[in-house]
Amino acid sequence: MKNNVLFFFLVMVLLLPLSLLAQDWRTNWDDAKSEAEKENKKLILVFSGSDWCIPCIKLEKEVWENSTFNEYAKDNYVLFRADFPKRKKNKLDNITQKRNDMLAAEYNPKGYFPFVVIIDSQGNVRGLLGYEKKSPKDYITRINQFLIEK
């Protein structure tokens, strides 16, 4: 019994730093926009098919979950994901689904996945990205290039 408890605490201690590095993805679109404006941060809107889109899953694992990206993102970006899962077990509630549909109509009418929309703090779309086989550092550089281009 002692070994099981010790093992549990060891696992929790090892996993805790991973959860602390995870960037907070906002769940309220209006709050995300307000935060970006108030804090003068870029807004990254990600359209994802989390349970069916292979490039979306790769982007999640290679960039969004990476500690290099998360360390930079917490001071520079507000992140918002509009997910479009297909599996019944991952079905979104009606309010979230309607909000994601509204965002897709405005920012992703062609339905590309993954689709990353870079929005400046004033609400202007500055760039569009999809999945690119890049390191998190190179992905950050690409995002920031949109913000210096006129």
For residue 51, the model assigns a pLDDT of 98
Residue 120 near residue 147, CB atoms below 8 Å = yes
- Give the confidence band of 119 by pLDDT, cuts at 50, 70, 90: very high
Greater model confidence, 57 or 150: 57
Q: Which residue has the higher pLDDT, 122 or 23?
A: 122
Structural domains in the chain plus CATH codes: 24-148 (3.40.30.10)
CA angle at 77 for the pair 74 and 80, rounded to the nearest 5°: 105
pLDDT band (50, 70, 90) for residue 12: low
Higher pLDDT, residue 6 or 31: 31
* pLDDT tens digits along 40-67: 999 999 999 999 999 999 999 999 999 9
